[in-house]
């Protein structure tokens, strides 16, 4: 890998980060994997990459990790939709982290960043949602707020420091490889396979294979236009009910039941009870009243023409991505139980 430009991936032990590291290595690109804890070596077994420590809350650790880097894949962030104190644990961490990442890049001489944003930062008032519609108008979720405000801040600081920054906005990433705790999207697939979603929520997800998102990140680095944002998703969403049907057909032996329709008031009560319990256990609830209010009935459909035309991005169909994710989780169920 001599004479190769050096890329760094933060959050390299996470779902997208690790798949991106693997893709870059397959393409013969020199990679530096950055993690918060150097003891976490399992995701890098057999991989020919350097592993360094950095934390988005510690700017100097980022400055050290970014030395000699040409392309910075800014993947690392807090990705959770629930916390006891969401402003402190989600919003503030992600906002401060973005400031640290851009300022550290400027100090280390990094000139190009692929910043991983989210479809959370899209305006859903007109469907299909697209990049040019602007940012999400719904301010009820602090993770969503961190992606909205964080992406704006990233572009603002990148412009100030004359850094080329491209934002990619992935939808619900599922599939392999996965280590540690499952991400939010893969965990929903697991809940479906475990018959743990008994009631109909009317929530849809826009499923995307994580490996497709990794390819999209690489395409953004090589073909993306600085200052632009690109949706990495499928055009059509899929309901939890239809996702459950796929699980039932794929694994008839699991006897997976379709979610049962319930009145919306009862759905709110169930969600309230779940969230109340979580305040005692500290574990994220399966459903919250906010989830019902924000997502029940929302069609997460996207116009992906910009990423297709400018990057050459192509996504595996949702049904194929869902089946592959389910087969992966079934084959590795002991690891994730």
How confident is the model over 25-30, as a mean pLDDT?
Answer: 97
Residue 264 C-beta-side C-alpha neighbours within 13 Å: 10
Q: What pLDDT was estimated at residue 3? A: 43
| pLDDT greater than 50 at residue 1 | no
Q: What pLDDT was estimated at residue 41? A: 87
- What percentage of the chain exceeds 70 in pLDDT? 99
Domain boundaries, the chain: 6-181+207-235+301-316
How confident is the model over 90-103, as a mean pLDDT?
Answer: 97
Q: What is the mean pLDDT of the chain?
A: 95
Confidence category of residue 263, pLDDT binned at 50, 70, 90: very high
How far apart CA 188 and CA 205 sit, in angstroms, is 10
Question: For residues 330 and 253, is the Cβ–Cβ distance under 8 A?
Answer: no
Bridge partner list, 203: 296
First to last CA, the chain: 38
Residue 271 C-beta-side C-alpha neighbours within 13 Å: 21
Confidence category of residue 4, pLDDT binned at 50, 70, 90: low
How far apart CA 286 and CA 195 sit, in angstroms, is 13
- What percentage of the chain exceeds 90 in pLDDT? 93
Burial of 152 (0-12, 13-18, 19+ CB in 10 A): middle
The closest alpha carbon to 93, from 145, 47, 48, belongs to: 145
What DSSP character marks residue 133?
G
CATH number, domain 6-181+207-235+301-316: 3.40.50.720
Q: Going by C-beta distance under 8 Å and a sequence separation of 6 or more, which residues neighbour residue 286?
A: 191, 196, 197, 274
| pLDDT greater than 60 at residue 2 | no
Q: What pLDDT was estimated at residue 5? A: 86
Residue 63 C-beta-side C-alpha neighbours within 13 Å: 10
Omega within 30 of 0 (cis) for the link into 161: no
How far apart CA 296 and CA 300 sit, in angstroms, is 11
Give the pairing of strands 164-170 and 172-174. unpaired
Tell me: the pLDDT tens digits for 219-249?
Answer: 999 999 999 999 999 999 999 999 999 999 9
């Amino acid at each position: 890998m001599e004479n190769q430009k050096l890329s760094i991936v933060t959050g390299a032990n996470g779902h997208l980060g690790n798949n991106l590291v693997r893709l870059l290595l397959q393409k013969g690109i020199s990679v530096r994997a950055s993690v918060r804890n150097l003891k976490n070596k399992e995701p890098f077994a057999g991989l020919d990459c350097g592993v360094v420590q950095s934390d988005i809350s510690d700017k100097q650790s980022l400055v050290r990790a970014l030395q000699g880097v040409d392309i910075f894949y800014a993947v690392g962030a807090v990705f959770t939709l629930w916390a006891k104190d969401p402003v402190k644990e989600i919003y503030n961490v992600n906002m401060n982290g973005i400031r640290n990442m851009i300022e550290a890049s400027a100090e280390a001489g990094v000139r190009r960043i692929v910043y991983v944003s989210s479809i959370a930062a899209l305006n859903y008032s007109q469907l299909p949602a697209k990049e040019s519609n602007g940012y999400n108008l719904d301010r009820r979720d602090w993770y969503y707020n961190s992606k909205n405000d964080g992406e704006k801040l990233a572009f603002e600081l990148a412009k100030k420091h004359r850094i080329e920054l491209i934002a990619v906005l992935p939808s619900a990433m599922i599939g392999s490889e996965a280590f540690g705790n499952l991400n939010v999207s893969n965990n929903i697939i697991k809940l479906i396979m475990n018959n743990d979603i008994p009631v109909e929520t009317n929530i849809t997800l826009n499923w995307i294979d994580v490996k497709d998102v990794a390819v999209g990140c690489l395409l953004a680095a090589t073909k993306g236009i600085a200052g632009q944002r690109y949706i990495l998703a499928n055009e059509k969403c899929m309901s939890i009910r239809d996702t459950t049907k796929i699980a039932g057909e794929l694994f008839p032996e699991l006897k997976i039941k379709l979610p049962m329709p319930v009145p919306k008031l009862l759905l709110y009560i169930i969600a309230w009870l779940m969230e109340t319990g979580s305040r005692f256990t500290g574990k994220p609830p399966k459903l919250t009243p906010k989830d019902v209010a924000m997502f029940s009935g929302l069609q997460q459909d996207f116009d992906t023409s910009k990423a297709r035309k400018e990057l050459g991005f192509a996504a595996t169909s949702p049904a194929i991505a869902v089946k592959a994710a389910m087969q992966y989780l079934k084959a590795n169920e002991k690891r994730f139980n």
